[in-house]
């Protein structure tokens, strides 16, 4: 384990849930927990936090023995229509889905300006007009994905951090 500045012990190897859905996600997470994994990595955009939470409950392992990490997808930054940071609702949604009062680490999912930006097919695709995907409009990355916007998102996320808060550490 690695000790965080909060004192929490973060497993060096965690069980990732990217691209797992439904019953197969539930079964995989439950199997991982029964095999000894104590670190779970998920994200709201994976749409599997409910299954991860259900498997954790089914395992019977006390919450204090687990390390749960989830992520805020970068399209859920800035203020919503109500004027409040969109991340506030997203962390509450993650906690409800996971069935826990807190997460050990909350990460901003893919905070950089982009990955593999110098790879020619990616660069060519960046110049193409973007085609919205029906039902996926809320997940579109902000056009103004600037360092200032990312810093403000971290500031908004920080409001949830504390030893007794819903988030114990940020990343």
Largest CA distance in the chain: 50
Tokens standing for 68? 């749960």
How far is Cα 106 from Cα 114, in angstroms, rounded to an integer? 20
User: What tokens appear for 48 in the block?
Assistant: 């599997």
* DSSP assigned state of 142: P
46 is catalytic: yes
What's the CA gap between 165 and 171, in Å, rounded?
15
- Which of the residues 18, 37, 46, 119 is marked catalytic? 46
| Element holding 150 (H helix, E strand) | helix 147-158
Distance, CA of 17 to CA of 14 (rounded, Å): 10
User: Which is it for the CA torsion 156, 159, 165, 168, positive or negative?
Assistant: positive
Which residues form the catalytic set? 46
């Amino acid at each position: 384990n690695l000790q965080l500045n909060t004192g929490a012990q973060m497993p060096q190897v965690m069980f990732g849930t990217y691209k797992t859905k439904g019953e197969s996600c539930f079964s995989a997470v439950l199997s991982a927990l029964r095999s000894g994994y104590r670190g779970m990595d998920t994200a709201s955009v994976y749409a599997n936090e409910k299954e991860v939470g259900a498997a954790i409950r089914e395992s019977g392992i006390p919450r204090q023995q687990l390390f749960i990490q989830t992520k805020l997808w970068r399209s859920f930054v800035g203020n919503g229509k109500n004027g409040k940071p969109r991340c506030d609702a997203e962390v509450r949604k993650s906690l409800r889905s996971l069935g826990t009062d807190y997460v050990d680490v909350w990460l901003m999912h893919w905070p950089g300006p982009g990955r593999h930006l110098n790879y020619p097919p990616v660069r060519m695709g960046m110049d193409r007009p973007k085609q919205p995907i029906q039902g996926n409009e809320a997940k579109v990355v902000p056009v103004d994905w600037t360092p200032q916007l990312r810093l403000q998102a971290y500031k908004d996320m920080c409001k949830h951090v504390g030893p007794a808060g819903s988030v114990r550490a940020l990343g």
